Amino acid sequence: MDSSSRLQCEQLQEAAGGALSLAHITGSRAYERFTGNQIAKLQQSRPQEYQDTERISLVSSFAASLFLGDYTAIDYSDGSGMNLLTSGPGPGLRSVWRPPLLIWTACWEIHDPPHLYW
């Protein structure tokens, strides 16, 4: 397993008030394989490549995008393993992006998370 984003996991949990607090927010503590922590690692370690990135997709939606010839949405069950969504029901009884986690992950403005497609 890739544990290269351990530092980002620790930083995210600290920013959320600890592992238990993050678990209450997103349904899980931070794991190295989760997308949010991998995005943060890329943004911190290779900022120019991150800046040059047009879109970040999960493998599951990327494959569908290839077949459709256009970007496809991330399935909620796949997106829940990102540490970027609330774990409880949001508007319309569905999970929603958690702006503070988006900001921490990649230094985005709340109104402008340009690299994730839902």
Backbone angles phi, psi at 112, to 5 degrees: -140, 70
Express each pLDDT in 46-70 by its tens digit.
989 988 988 888 888 888 889 999 9
Which comes out higher in pLDDT, residue 79 or 38?
38
99-106 and 35-45 helices, crossing angle to 10°: 40
Instruction: Note the pTM of the prediction, 2 decimals.
Output: 0.74
How many residues make up the chain in this entry? 118
State how far the Cα of 27 lies from the Cα of 80, in Å rounded to an integer. Answer: 8
Sequence-distant (≥ 6) Cβ neighbours of residue 69 within 8 angstroms: none
